[in-house]
Structure 1
Amino acid sequence: MSALFSYLKRTYTIFNPPIATKNEDALRIGILGAANIAPAALVTPAKSHPDVIVAAVAARDPKKAEAFAKKYEIPIVHKTYDELIADPSIDCIYNPLPNGLHYEWTLKALKAGKHVLLEKPSVSNAREARSLFRHPLIQGPNAPVLLEAFHYRFHPMWSTFLSMFKSEDVETVVATNSLVAGIFPKDDIRFNYDLSGGTLMDFGAYAVSSVRGVFGKEPIGVKTASCRPMPKEFDDKCDEAIFAEYEFGNGASAKISADLQAKGGYPFPALTQNWPSFKNFLPTIEVKLRPQTESADGGLEKSIQKSFTVYNYMGPFLYHRIDIVTTTQLKKSTDGKVVKTDTNTEYKKVYKWPAEREAEGRIGEEWWSTYRYQLEEFVNRVKKREGSGIWVEPEDSIRQMEMIDETYEAAGLPVRPTSKALEEFDFFSGR
């Protein structure tokens, strides 16, 4: 009963955090667009942060912006994105616009000297990523801060998970992200090619990011890739589901599966093939290490293999579980025949930093969401504080988009379109 009470209390506080007294030099953030993600990603987390004030919003539809501002008690409503960016009272911009608009409006914000918290995926393709994340505007000690918002990476669970193994020992990784069919309509902007939509640019981006994080490096190449395109009456240049396998060298590999319209998988498929599927409703990543072999008594060999599975790695603040499975086999050294197998499973949950990390200065509460941890580090970087050291570096964001482009090409789909606002530079000459 106490565990249930603690869970309910923590969950309630995530969505109803204590209101912090704001500091005089708190950062004033403006939101581009009245996006559905904005309340969870910024508005609610900002309530408990003494150095953040959500001060303004602008949307293409002024009435929508006014309604959004009224609902979330945002004092300023600007008529246009340009007007918001030009507001001298705004220090930072949060950009949750459709993917195809990320590059143009992030660049405008940076030119205005604003720090930018940019929703993932950062841009439409690798060409845009190289232009944006290597732009002269963000170079130098006093340049504006630019962060791609892969929020799950800032939660203590993810760091703890990665600390459980060495990346060079990883043999296979499987990342599975699935959303029940019908949550998003098929004409949603997520499935609009001109706005750089597609499942790989949504749920699939997390799968790519998590795989890269486990290995701590880029794949040698895309081994296989396929997709389930949108139905012909919709935008068939977009993927409804994406599947890919990557090679990471030394025999290591990774598979991703992402589906924003998961359905079927029940008995009597002729009748149930279009039923919404709840089979993999928790985003999951599975990591298997290479077996370690050592000598044992009696002419036997002992083989030990570990695997780790994280359930709900994308939203661990709501609920998650890390399963650690250790399989020990005794084999005859002569013919490799298995004579005994033992399996041990441990379970772990991490909602705040372990004591040793807190002693190093890392802060957080059990009710902090991934977005609240991310906001903490964004503010630390803007204010030039040390922070936890967790960050999504510019080159990391570039490599992420390169891997997405390569996957689309391997799956036979076009790379997402490049913005007309693209600026290219000769980085060797400095122009």
Structure 2
Amino acid sequence: MASAIGFLKRNYNIFFPPVAIKNSDVLRFGILGAANIAPLALITPAKSHPDVIIAAVAARDPKKAEAYAKKHGIPIVHKTYDDLIADPSIDCIYNPLPNGLHYEWTMKALKAGKHVLVEKPSTSNAIEAKSLFRHPLANQPNGPIVLEAFHYRFHPAWQFFLTLFDSKDVEHVKVINELFAGAFKKTDIRFVYSLAGGTLMDFGTYALSALRQIFGTEPSSVKSGHYRPMPEGLDKQIDEAIYATYEFPNGGTADITADLQKKLGFRLHLMQLWLAVTLKPKTEQTEDGNEMTVQKEIKFKNYMGPYIYHSIDITTVTEIKDPSNGGKIVKEEKKTERKKVYKWLKDEEGKKGEEWWSTYRHQLEAFVDRIKKREGSGVWVDGEDSIKQMEMIDATYLKVGLPVRPTSKALDSSE
């Protein structure tokens, strides 16, 4: 009963957080586009942050922007994106536009001296990522901050998960990101090549980011891959689902499955978001001359949205073999320990956060801390990280036989 009450209370506060009294040096955010993700990713988390106000919005359709502003209590509506970026009262820009517009409008905001929180993937491809994150404006002392919004990485559950193993010991990783068919229309912007769409650019980008975090490095190769194309009559340069296998420098391998149109099977899974890490077996000799082999698997369920619910299951399999009897197994044991982490651990008390803070709320805290030059949690996604992420995406598309997403005509080669 207590756990059920805790679940309900936590999730209520996620979506209806207490409203913080705002500080005098508050950061004023402007939103590009009337995006569906913005209430979850920024508008709601901002309510509980004393240093953040959502001050303005702009959309291509002014009427849509006005309705959006009224619904979410945003005081200023600008007629165009350019007007919003030029507003001297705005400190930060949130860019949740279609992928193909991320580079152009993030660069414009950067040149206007605005800090930018840009949705993932940060750009359409690695060429754009290098132009953006290696631009002099993004690397000058006291210059504007640009952050790719890989929100899951900022949550205490993910950071705890990473402490459960050493990257060099990872043997295999499996990531499954699936959403039931019909959740998005097949004509959704996610499936438009000219807007840098594709499942790898959506669910798949989380999978690749997770692999890079788990192995602590970049893959040595994309070993294999294939994709399921869109149905007849739709964009054939788009992956409706994608599957790929990677090799890493420590000898480990990884498989990803990303599907935004998963047909429901007999289990009726509407959505699957999990990953499993298998560690290399470790063998040692026991005092009685036998060989004991221990292998662990760590499964993280709902790693992308752990604030709603999650579990981290650590399964340990122990085998004891008698080498004098042909390696016969004399004892076998399997045990599973379950962990759940909703806030920083006691030895991390300097880090801020409540149990009901979402991944987005933790991310916003880190973004503001970086702007205000506060120590914060120490979790961050730097520019080179974002570049390597896009290089992995590009390499995967080429391996499966699809073109890299198109480069913006607004590409700035200044560095």
CA–CA distance in structure 2, aligned partners of residues 201 and 251 of structure 1: 26
Report if the CA contact (8 A) 2:278-2:297 is conserved.
yes
1:269 is aligned to: none
Displacement of 1:280: 7.1
Cα separation, 2, equivalents of 1:54 and 1:280: 33
Q: What TM-score do the two structures reach when normalised by structure 2? A: 0.98
Give the match for residue 291 of structure 2.
Answer: 301
Instruction: Name the stretch that deviates more: 296-305 or 126-135.
Output: 296-305
- 1:297 is displaced (CA, Å) by 3.9
1:94 aligns with 2:94: yes
Matched, 1:320 2:313: no
For structure 1, the 5+ residue unaligned runs are 267-276
Q: Does 1:356 align with 2:344?
A: no
Task: Determine whether 1:287 maps to 2:270.
Answer: no
Q: Which runs of 4+ in 1 moved over 3 A?
A: 277-280
Residue in structure 2 matching 1:423, options 401, 407, 412:
412
Corresponding residue of 1:195: 195
- Structure-2 separation of matches of 1:400 and 1:228: 22
Q: CA deviation at 1:338?
A: 2.2
CA distance in structure 1 between the aligned counterparts of 2:163 and 2:67, rounded to whole angstroms: 44
| 1:386 CA displacement | 0.9
Preserved contact between residue 18 and residue 48 of structure 2 (Cα < 8 Å): yes
Partner of 1:156: 156
Q: Which moved more, 1:193-202 or 1:244-253?
A: 244-253
Please, what is the CA RMSD of the aligned residues? 1.1
For the 8 Å contact 1:284–1:310, the answer to whether it is kept is yes
Correspondence 1:238-387 to 2 at 5 A:
238-266=238-266, 278-279=268-269, 281-334=271-324, 335-358=326-349, 361-387=350-376
Q: Which whole-Å CA distance do the structure 2 matches of 1:75 and 1:264 have between them?
A: 43
1:26 deviation in Å? 0.3
Residue 19 of structure 2 aligns with an amino acid whose one-letter code is: I
Inter-partner Cα distance in structure 1 for 2:270 and 2:16 = 29
SS at match of 1:259: strand
Provide the TM-score with structure 1 as the length reference.
0.95
What residue is the counterpart of 1:272 in the other structure? none
What is the CA-CA distance between 1:160 and the residue it aligns to? 0.2
Q: Deviations over 1:158-180 (max 9, x none)?
A: 00000011000100001110001
What SS does the corresponding residue of 2:35 show, helix, strand or coil? coil
Shift of 1:318: 0.3
- Tell whether the 8 Å contact from 1:176 to 1:280 is kept in structure 2 after alignment: no
Q: What is the alpha-carbon distance in structure 2 between the residues aligned to residue 133 and residue 338 of structure 1?
A: 55
- Aligned partners of 1:36, 1:348: CA distance in 2, in Å? 32
Distance in 1 of aligned mates of 2:330 and 2:126:
51
> Which residue of the partner structure matches residue 402 of structure 1?
391
- Measured in 2, the distance between the counterparts of 1:407 and 1:399 equals 12
Secondary structure of 1:418's aligned partner = coil
Alignment partners' CA distance in 2, 1:121 and 1:314:
15
Q: Which amino acid aligns with 2:112?
A: A
Q: Deviation of residue 19 (structure 1)?
A: 0.3
Match of 2:33 in 1: 33
* Aligned positions, number: 414
Contact 2:264–2:270 at 8 Å: present in 1 too? Answer: no
CA contact (8 A) 1:227 1:240 kept: yes
Give the Cα separation in 2 of the matches to 1:410 and 1:282: 25
Separation in structure 2 between the aligned mates of residue 338 and residue 60 of structure 1, nearest angstrom: 68
Distance 1:315 1:328 in 2: 32
Q: Tell me the SS of whatever aligns to 1:187.
A: coil
User: Post-superposition shift, 1:296?
Assistant: 1.6
Residue 177 of structure 1 contacts residue 280 of structure 1 at CA under 8 Å; is this kept in 2? no
Q: How does 1:161-200 map to 2 (within 5 A)?
A: 161-200=161-200
**Counterpart for residue 388 of structure 1:** 377
Q: Which amino acid aligns with 1:184?
A: F
> Cα offset for 1:264?
4.8
Identical positions, percent: 65
Asked if structure 1 preserves the Cα contact closer than 8 Å seen for 2:174 and 2:255, the reply is yes
Distance 2:303 2:136 in 1: 35
Q: Deviation per CA, 1:233-275, whole angstroms, max 9, x where unpaired?
A: 1111100000000000342101110000001544xxxxxxxxx
Q: Distance in 1 between matches of 2:234 and 2:84?
A: 34
Per-residue CA deviations over 1:90-114 (Å, capped at 9, x if unaligned) read 0000000000000000000000000
- Contact 1:128 1:419 (8 Å CA) reproduced: yes
Secondary structure (helix, strand or coil) at the match of 1:249 reads coil
1:356-400 Cα offsets, whole Å, 9 max, x none, are 001xx1010000000000000000001111111100011000000
- Residues 181 and 264 in structure 2, CA contact (< 8 A), matched pair in contact too: no
Structure 1 distance, partners of 2:363, 2:133, is 19
In the alignment, the residues of structure 2 paired with residue 249 and residue 93 of structure 1 have an alpha-carbon distance, to the nearest angstrom, of 38
Deviation per residue, 1:117-175 (Å, 9 max, x gap): 00000000010001101001111221100000000000000000000110001000011
1:121-140 matches, cutoff 5 A = 121-140=121-140
Once residues 298 and 161 of structure 1 are traced to their aligned partners in structure 2, the CA distance between those partners, rounded to angstroms, is 35
Q: Which residue of 2 aligns with 1:16?
A: 16
Letter in 1 for 2:407: T
Report whether the alignment pairs 1:66 with 2:56: no
What is the letter of the counterpart of residue 414 of structure 1? Answer: P
